[in-house]
Structure 1
Amino acid sequence: MPAPAHLTDRHPTVSPERLIAQLVPPPTFNDVSFDSYRPDPAEPTQAAAVGFCRRFCEEARKNREGKRKMFGKRETLPGVGLYLDGGFGVGKTHLLASMYYSLAGGSHPAAFATFGELTQLAGVFGFTECIDLLADYVVVCIDEFELDDPGNTTLISRLLSQLVERGVSIAATSNTLPEQLGEGRFAAQDFLREINTLASIFTTVRVEGPDYRHRGLPPAPEPLTDDEVAARAEGVDGATLDGFDELCDHLATMHPSRYLTLIEGVKAVYITGVHPVDDQAVALRLVALTDRLYDAGIPVVASGAKLDTVFSPEMLEGGYRKKYLRATSRLLALTAAGMEL
């Protein structure tokens, strides 16, 4: 078997056409539906959320078709908004993908994107062109909605407001209530108008419950040695093997929108020399990579520090706390899968 490849040897590019083609749910959610969602009987908000999502789809479809006027013409009705707020691993993305599939089969297209992919789409096509591109969609589904900087706040507020006016409905998931977006990350009070505009678009539905990824799972496994990781990587077809610092440096050379292409075709990721990071930029790039790995269902095997210690205590006290906790939750699920290889 050939030696494992290295992610650091890959230098992906993403064309505008590829960005549009990526506006679909990730592979791990290819077959989900409202019927396959299993609400926790102990958490009534989960079953209630399914009902809200179904009604949202009915209203979004009706509003997209518009109101019939004289001579067969139709009047465009504004889109509707649904915002699923909740902790980690309660099935919000499952429900979001179910809304996408419920609406995608009609006469209008549907889009599914992470928040970062949506802002990248606007950056590549331009603000006006991005609106024109999405104006005929029935719904835009946004996973892990979050405001990282003032520029994104203004951009997304204007973008979504204009799409709603054109009849596009918006569904989103997040770990932060709409009116609290941006808190602890920048001077959110200076952008209250934009944040309040965003909040007014949505009906907020809370989804409670424990993280399903950790049900029955042991704590983070003891890390392997560098040699053990390298030996395991050699036994897995389609695996990659990289040093942690080298991988972090490589991630800095490209926009996070390329991370999905970076891991395309990879079956498992092996990393040596993991250690805690205290640089915010490095940590946020690791979060973005973790999200792409999780979406693609790619197991992770690592040596060095335990993966639940990658983000320093200081970072877990800051404005990106929820983002780092989500990434830790996903890393533990991926490493559990990696230990079974």
Structure 2
Amino acid sequence: MTPEQMVQALVPPPQFDHVSFENYKPDADHPSQAEARDICRAFALRSAKSGGGLMRMFKKKDAAVKPGVYLDGGFGVGKTHLLAATWHAASGRKYFGTFIEYTALVGALGYKNAVEAFRGASLIAIDEFELDDPGDTMVMTKLLGELVESGTRIAATSNTPPNALGEGRFAAQDFLREITKLAGVFQTIRIDGVDYRRRAVEGEAVMTEPAQLQAEVDARLAQGETVARDDFRSLIDYLATVHPSKYVRLIDGVDTLVLDDVQELTDQSEALRFVAFIDRVYDAEVPIIASGHSLDSVFGGGMIDGGYRKKYLRSVSRLIASTGAAHAG
């Protein structure tokens, strides 16, 4: 992928192609959902009317208006739906990606080139904003600060409010100043509710006996599908040779992913690369058929109870959903 292609790939995943404020269904038992929808709609309209000019947007009378909205809430309350709806409603040049995608892109392009690539954008939408190390938050704080100064608006989601990023993972006091700067960019919107998918990470991934894998592949090929079949260990080793920002191209055109002989992961770097890859698989709605070690317990060695717990649990949830989708119906 060229740098231009990497930036152009920052759009909402297919399942959010047609979301809008109109088809967001807030839970009447949780008024904060409808309130969040209305705030995001107003934010998107202000972005469209302002034309992206910071000086025009922030006159004295508008001093209290912040250039970012931050949707904080649990899993499945519609945060990504509202983020994508905001992106669709905004005008101008705009980008949508996960926090991991943006930090990976900065790593691939270099900071200066990343700033130039995004400069002039009307909106940067960041899904699953999270803090995994001090370096990430400092780079993103600096990047977002420069973009906001040039007139770009920021919309983000997370399961952690912005001034609590980093708590329980690293020594937050070492970079509290950076976190506070970042929090000052956003109007924080708390969204209450329960997971509409009712998808529990305590569920189990659907696994296939090795002897049945070829029959599964043959059946899908007979239906005209494009099937990617790999040995799990070979895939993990290969991911180390590809920059995470390019994982999206690995599954381009793939209808089903088949993994032979899944093994437990105990190396943190390998596990995090696999998480990033599964994010792309899930976003592309590619079902997974796998044999070997169960994918819902693939993160071993106590890693799932460490600093990246939230990230691993999200990935497990997506692995359960992806293997279930392969056997639905």
TM-score of the superposed pair, with normalisation by structure 2: 0.88
Letter in 2 for 1:99: T
* 2:297 maps to 1:337: no
* 2:153 maps to 1:165: no
Q: Using the alignment, how far apart are the partners of 2:206 and 2:146 within structure 1?
A: 50
* 2:114 maps to 1:114: no
Give the superposition deviation at 1:240: 1.4
Counterpart contact for 1:259–1:289, Cα < 8 Å: yes
Q: Report the counterpart of residue 291 of structure 1 in structure 2.
A: 279
Q: Report the counterpart of residue 45 of structure 2 in structure 1.
A: 58
- 1:222-233 matches, within 5 Å, as 222-233=206-217
Give the superposition deviation at 1:38: 1.8
Q: Report the counterpart of residue 131 of structure 1 in structure 2.
A: 115
Q: Using the alignment, how far apart are the partners of 1:246 and 1:217 within structure 2?
A: 26
Q: Using the alignment, how far apart are the partners of 1:221 and 1:153 within structure 2?
A: 33
4+ runs deviating over 4 angstroms: 215-218
Counterpart contact for 1:214–1:333, Cα < 8 Å: no
Q: Using the alignment, how far apart are the partners of 1:329 and 1:162 within structure 2?
A: 35
In the superposition, relative to structure 1, how do residues 251 and 268 fare at CA in structure 2: closer, same or farther (>3 Å)?
Answer: same
In the superposition, relative to structure 1, how do residues 90 and 230 fare at CA in structure 2: closer, same or farther (>3 Å)?
Answer: farther
* 2:75 maps to 1:91: no
Give the superposition deviation at 1:19: 1.2
Give the superposition deviation at 1:282: 1.5
Q: Report the counterpart of residue 67 of structure 2 in structure 1.
A: 80
Q: Give the one of 166, 171, 184 matched to 1:182.
A: 166
In the superposition, relative to structure 1, how do residues 85 and 246 fare at CA in structure 2: closer, same or farther (>3 Å)?
Answer: same
Q: Report the counterpart of residue 8 of structure 1 in structure 2.
A: none
Q: Using the alignment, how far apart are the partners of 2:201 and 2:301 within structure 1?
A: 23
Q: Report the counterpart of residue 266 of structure 1 in structure 2.
A: 254
Q: Using the alignment, how far apart are the partners of 2:101 and 2:200 within structure 1?
A: 33
Q: Deviations over 1:226-279 (max 9, x none)?
A: 121232022212111122222111111111111100111100111122233222
Q: Using the alignment, how far apart are the partners of 1:132 and 1:202 within structure 2?
A: 23
Q: Report the counterpart of residue 30 of structure 1 in structure 2.
A: 17
* 2:181 maps to 1:197: yes
Counterpart contact for 2:259–2:291, Cα < 8 Å: yes
In the superposition, relative to structure 1, how do residues 218 and 340 fare at CA in structure 2: closer, same or farther (>3 Å)?
Answer: farther
Q: Percent identity?
A: 47
In the superposition, relative to structure 1, how do residues 215 and 43 fare at CA in structure 2: closer, same or farther (>3 Å)?
Answer: farther
Q: Using the alignment, how far apart are the partners of 1:208 and 1:225 within structure 2?
A: 41
Q: Using the alignment, how far apart are the partners of 1:145 and 1:195 within structure 2?
A: 12
Letter in 2 for 1:322: K
Unaligned ranges ≥5, structure 1: 1-13, 68-73
Matched position secondary structure for 1:147:
coil
Matched position secondary structure for 2:289:
strand
Letter in 2 for 1:243: D
Q: Deviations over 1:121-178 (max 9, x none)?
A: 3334443443333232211001111222222222111111121122111001112221
Q: Using the alignment, how far apart are the partners of 2:13 and 2:119 within structure 1?
A: 23
Give the superposition deviation at 1:339: 0.8
* 2:204 maps to 1:220: yes
Q: Using the alignment, how far apart are the partners of 2:202 and 2:218 within structure 1?
A: 26
Counterpart contact for 2:108–2:245, Cα < 8 Å: no
Q: Using the alignment, how far apart are the partners of 1:280 and 1:312 within structure 2?
A: 9
Please tell me the root mean square deviation across aligned C-alpha atoms, in Å: 2.4
Q: Report the counterpart of residue 33 of structure 2 in structure 1.
A: 46
Matched position secondary structure for 1:112:
strand
Q: Using the alignment, how far apart are the partners of 2:100 and 2:167 within structure 1?
A: 18
Counterpart contact for 2:206–2:320, Cα < 8 Å: no
Letter in 2 for 1:88: F
Q: Report the counterpart of residue 280 of structure 1 in structure 2.
A: 268
TM-score of the superposed pair, with normalisation by structure 1: 0.85
Counterpart contact for 1:64–1:79, Cα < 8 Å: no
Give the superposition deviation at 1:338: 0.6
Matched position secondary structure for 2:197:
helix
Counterpart contact for 2:207–2:291, Cα < 8 Å: yes
The count of aligned residue pairs is 319
Q: Report the counterpart of residue 206 of structure 1 in structure 2.
A: 190
- 1:143-158 matches, within 5 Å, as 143-158=127-142
Q: Report the counterpart of residue 324 of structure 1 in structure 2.
A: 312
* 2:289 maps to 1:301: yes
Q: Report the counterpart of residue 20 of structure 1 in structure 2.
A: 7
Q: Deviations over 1:27-67 (max 9, x none)?
A: 22111111122223333332222112112212333444548
Give the superposition deviation at 1:113: 1.8
Q: Deviations over 1:81-129 (max 9, x none)?
A: 11112222222211111111000xx3x2111122222223333444344
Counterpart contact for 1:24–1:111, Cα < 8 Å: yes
Q: Using the alignment, how far apart are the partners of 1:131 and 1:266 within structure 2?
A: 32
